[in-house]
Amino acid sequence: MNSDTRAPGEHEPQEATLMAWPYKTSIWDDHLAPLQAEIAAIARAIAAHQPVVMAAAPGHVEEARQACGAGVHVVALEYDDCWTRDTGPIGVYRAGERIGLDWRFNCWGGKFPPWEKDDAFAGQACAALGMPAQPVDMVLEGGAVIIDGEGTLITTEECLLNENRNPGMTKAEIEATLRAESGVTKVIWLPYGLAGDTITDGHVDGVAAFVRPGVLVVQAGPAGTSDHERLAKNRAILERATDARGRHFKLIEMEPYPTLSFGSYETRHSYVNYYVCNGAVIVPLCGRAADDEAALATLRGAFPEREVVGVACPTVTYGGGGVHCVTQQVIPAP
């Protein structure tokens, strides 16, 4: 591992969780109210275990406070939407200092303008959190990478090599930037995210997540679907791979995902898109009892030392994400 820089794993102690209050009817239409209720529920579930800092756009601070309750700290910041995993700063330790990496954000390849406020959000959040921001001249969303804290980073070719992200960079240049900025020494490239992910173009946090170094939860694909073959290829790569310390991975398979329908629109619900915080794992539930309970049972087995807490958030799924997508951990000061 780069001795000067280290990106901690999500399983390590955290100072707080950064979230953002959704407020734009121009983005969410009649889904805004149920989404706000889900974001508040996620925030309260995390706040039972550690501080939550909820960004709220000017004019919406009191609305967020009333919905989230006294256990959530609300701060006024400018931003466009609620996906803090992708727009918030990624904390690293560099030369003995805590800094927030401020990667460029182009709204998943320029899909949903405007995004200028989201691109500037990481720098503002760093100021609010009391840590320096370090701009990085490369497009990267936090959901495109998972990091174990011991030198290993996993991503997908489908996302990071998409021409809509960094068309002027080669794979080798992208990997070199990931290594330099995150302090990792091993980058593992999976070919695929979830099939049909036209929003993020295959973020890795929908198909794989660290439990701790050397242990991963991996998503399986339903038989007869394109994801059955795609996700089997992901797993085969991980079965052959070793991490930065030379360990083979222990893989815990998540059962095939449910598909949720919103009128004529269908989307996959990823239970792998969970968030690990101090003492707990916050899991996105879809409201189908059998599927939800099977996923919770898998994660209770993976995390016997943590409380596994399910939060119903089908509207977050509608938006293309899960609990992990609307949270970003704040690392402690050294």
Q: Which residues are catalytic?
A: 325
Identify whether the C-beta of residue 59 lies closer than 8 Å to the C-beta of residue 72.
no
Of 214, 94, 86, residue with least CA distance to 154: 214
* CA–CA gap between residue 39 and residue 327 (Å, rounded): 10
259-262 and 5-6 strand pairing: unpaired
The partner residues of 72 in beta bridges, in order of sequence, read 52
What single string gives the DSSP state of each residue in 271-326? TT--EEETTEEEEEE-S-HHHHHHHHHHHHHH-TTSEEEEEE-HHHHHTT--TGGG
Identify whether the C-beta of residue 282 lies closer than 8 Å to the C-beta of residue 313.
no
What single string gives the DSSP state of each residue in 98-159? EEEEEEE--HHHHTSS--HHHHHHHHHHHHHHT--EEEEEEE--GGGEEE-SSSEEEEEHHH
* CA–CA gap between residue 85 and residue 142 (Å, rounded): 5
Tokens matching residue 9? 């794993």
Contacts of 193 (CB under 8 A, 6+ apart): 156, 158, 159, 200, 201, 202, 203, 204, 206, 207
H or E segment and range at residue 171? helix 171-182
Identify whether the C-beta of residue 100 lies closer than 8 Å to the C-beta of residue 330.
no
Contacts of 59 (CB under 8 A, 6+ apart): none
Strands, sheet with 133-139, edge to edge from the N-terminal-most edge strand: 5-6, 90-94, 97-104, 133-139
Identify whether the C-beta of residue 117 lies closer than 8 Å to the C-beta of residue 78.
yes
